[in-house]
Chain A
Amino acid sequence: MSEGVVFDLGYAPHEGERLGRPGALRALYRDGLRKVLGLRRRARSKVFPWMLLGIAVLPALFFIAFGILAGNLADNLAEATFFSHSRYFEMTGVIGLIFVALASSELLVPDRVHGVMAVYASRPLSMVDYLAGRAASLGTVVFAFMEIPHLVLFFGRAWVSDGGFGSYVVENVSVLWETSLASLLYFVMYAALGFLVASFASRPAIAAGVLVGVVSISGPATDALVSTGTFRVAGLLALQHHPGYVKDWIMGDDVRRWIPEAAGFGPTASLAAIVVIAALSAAVVVRRYRSLR
């Protein structure tokens, strides 16, 4: 006798594990990474992030290629570098700012504008969880984008170094944590402002533009004020200069004239400024999001 069977394709309850808040936070973090890097989205959204990373890494690659081709001259060249790690920040800092501007608005604005906050509101996540998760995603990528060029430069140098790869690394390993720390500070400064602007803007492009605009103008504007001699305090509003000033302090370098320095403040003042601005921004952002309900 032949047999047949029909499977009941009805609803099956979920019997498996439930990860609660930690699972939700991880999912939020992964989603943030995808948003920022344009993964699992249309090709268009991948272009910008990867292009920026490419631009940031290019000088380092160029330098290494040059070093390899120059061969025997490597010894002198390794010393006569046309840019140091410290100076590289002049570029990676800008890349970081642009990236934070675009990414923070990409992370915060669409969720608000399209009402997706309602979905988060019915999930085991608090408002602070959401904001912290977004900040973590942003931080991971920004930090990576700012630090990878340094890594490329560092290991590239090690490779073409006269004394050999291993010894170069051992001698100069402090460079790695110095640049990491500095990149982190750049991130904190820019991300705080980026989130601040993004929590009020209604369009990502506007938020990004406002951030880049304000930060860029803060330099010349405060410079002018400080130069007059009477508004020295304005030196604390030179937003773009604070991370740079502290970076020079960490790395023991002096890449350019820093406005807070010119205004008579020490690098610790800049460090404090970064921390205070970050804390204030965080408070405002949390308050803003709480009022959205």
Chain B
Amino acid sequence: MDGPIITTSGLQFAYGDIVALAGVDLEVPPGRVGLVGANGAGKTTLLKLLLGILPPAAGSIGVLGRPVPGDLLGVRSRVGFMPESDCLPPDQTAADFVAYAAELAGLPVRAARQRASDVLTLVGLHEERFRYLKEFSTGMLQRAKLAQAIVHDPDLVLLDEPTAGLDPEGREEMLGLVIRLEEYGIHSVLSSHVLTDIERTCDWVVMLDGGRVLRSGPLIELSAADEAALEVLGDPDPVVAGLEAAGATVTVDGNAMTVRHQGADVFAVVRDVLADTGAGIRRLGPHRTTLEDIFMAGADGDV
């Protein structure tokens, strides 16, 4: 898929008097996209607009190169949705419902059953798939929800808080699955409050604030190649002194420090100072602005 997976232009939506989206312009390339924002910033509204569940008050939307709601049925055949809330009927088995979900997306009956079986294995539901959904634990339900979202081999899947309620092992598996989806040609939009999840999984981030786009860009832009983040073993003071003597600017934050150098390769300077002082590296790498830093700097919390 070339070309952006999502484009919006001047998108607006309001619930009565409350403005949810106040003019959103986006051009999102294929890949794994993180969607972050404070509560009430417009994330869920945006997802609903992309699926054509809500009609835009103004502006245009394109998903996978097709207009929404112009080619709504075409879009929905190629897009999957994993909602945050419960969406599975307790009185059906997982295998049954996922096959039905595939049929509902337009797959012929036999293909639907086959794909449901393959996808359930993919998400890690084995014998459990023949049990009724009411007996499923949270982790199993999340997997089943993901299964119904990808069973029809969509090109794009929208995931709303996919790790909610999962224990650490479950979270890791879920995020691993999302990463693997890319290998299968399925792009994803991951809406989440847990920024570390987004940092681990996504290569592009859209930040919404107060119904507008605060930032939309690749995640790697957030690293500055000429700044080093360093943590040393033991007492950092001699190291700081040595770095400053070598002409570097050092900002200290507890045990960690950020090092900049105008003239030379900062990592070479760090190496030399460490070798000279005999201090050990605990951690060294390019200084990464975390999503949280950006958030705290630019966003208002909700009231």
Contacts and interface: CB of A to CB of B under 8 A. Distances in A.
Interface in B85-131: 85-92, 96, 100-101, 103-109, 111-112, 115, 118, 122
A110 B86 CA distance: 12
Interface stretch (B47-55, B195-203, B232-240, B295-303): B47-55
A16 B108 contact: yes
A23 B73 contact: no
Interface stretch (A117-125, A184-192, A273-281): A117-125
Interface string A95-126: 00000000000000011001111111111111
B153 interface: yes
Interface in B184-227: 184-185
Interface string A7-34: 0001111101111110110111001000
Interface string A121-151: 1111110000000000000000000000000
A138 B108 CA distance: 23
B79 interface: yes
Contact of A122 (B79, B92, B111, B180): B79
B148 interface: yes
B51 A121 contact: yes
B83 interface: yes
B183 interface: yes
A8 to B, nearest CB: 12
A124 B183 CA distance: 25
Given A11-B184, A27-B103, A122 B108 contact: no
B48 to A, nearest CB: 7
B81 interface: yes
B77 A18 contact: yes
A134 B77 CA distance: 21
B105 A124 contact: yes
B90 A11 contact: no
A256 interface: no
A120 B104 contact: yes
Interface of A is mostly: loop
Contacts of A257: none
B80 interface: yes
A13 B81 contact: no
A41 B92 contact: yes
A19 B185 contact: no
A293 B48 contact: yes
Contacts of A11: 118, 122, 180, 183-184
B260 interface: no
B53 A125 contact: no
Contacts of B109: 27
Contacts of A26: 103
Interface in A21-63: 21, 23-24, 26-28, 31, 40-42, 45
A10 B103 CA distance: 22
Interface in A191-239: none
A215 to B, nearest CB: 27
B109 to A, nearest CB: 8
Contacts of A40: 92, 96
A248 B86 CA distance: 48
A42 B91 contact: yes
B77 A115 contact: no
Contacts of A42: 91, 132
13 contacts: A14-B115, A23-B103, A23-B108, A27-B100, A27-B104, A114-B90, A115-B86, A116-B89, A118-B81, A118-B85, A125-B76, A126-B72, A293-B54
Given A13-B185, A121-B81, 4 more contacts: A14-B111, A23-B108, A124-B74, A293-B54
